[in-house]
Amino acid sequence: MAKTLTGIGEMNMHHNFRVILFIISILTLAACNSSIKTNNELDVMSKNDKETIFSMIIEHFDLQQYFHQEEKNRVPLKIKSNENLGVNLPVIKFGKPVEFYTDTNFDSDDPFFEVALFSINGDNAIFNIVYAAEGITIKGKLKKQSSQWSFVAFEVFES
């Protein structure tokens, strides 16, 4: 009889161990799942970063002398974008929304900025933008620290 009771106790212990292991597994999976970002969440975050970075670029002190908003067709600001930057960014300059265009839907004689390079890789971003109307190229790098983007480099080259 003692042997039988010991066997039952061991069965209960094994059963309890399995239940605890099962619960730990479920909790671990739930925790991992909640930390994984969906494509929509990544797109939103990426779009927010793009908006922030591009706003910082066009508001940079060293660039302001080249806008000449008083000249014809300089406002709203027009941007011929690339595939990395996109065209649906809610960026404002001179109190008006910036107009973003792709290669295929851009046909204008108005002055425009052409985004030759715009890339975000984790907490680093680089850009190269040409503004033919003023004969300048804008290049730079940004780094994200503590959820804030800041310039590591910003240069304006006149050709």
Both 80 and 130 in one domain: the answer is yes
Q: Domain range for residue 87?
A: 43-158
Is 0.85 topped by the overall pTM? no
Both 54 and 103 in one domain: the answer is yes
Both 1 and 58 in one domain: the answer is no
Both 28 and 52 in one domain: the answer is no
Both 31 and 104 in one domain: the answer is no
Q: CB of 128 within 8 A of CB of 93?
A: no
Residue range 84-140, pLDDT digits in tens: 898 989 999 999 999 999 877 777 789 999 999 999 999 999 999 999 999 999 999
Structural domains in the chain (count): 2
Q: Under 8 Å CB-to-CB from 49, ≥6 apart: which residues?
A: 120, 125, 144, 149
Both 106 and 57 in one domain: the answer is yes
Both 21 and 73 in one domain: the answer is no
Both 86 and 116 in one domain: the answer is yes
Both 65 and 98 in one domain: the answer is yes
Residue range 51-91, pLDDT digits in tens: 999 999 999 999 999 999 999 999 999 999 998 898 989 99
Both 59 and 101 in one domain: the answer is yes
Both 124 and 87 in one domain: the answer is yes
Both 15 and 84 in one domain: the answer is no
Give dist(CA 136, CA 118) in Å, integer. 17
Structure tokens at 18: 């399995």
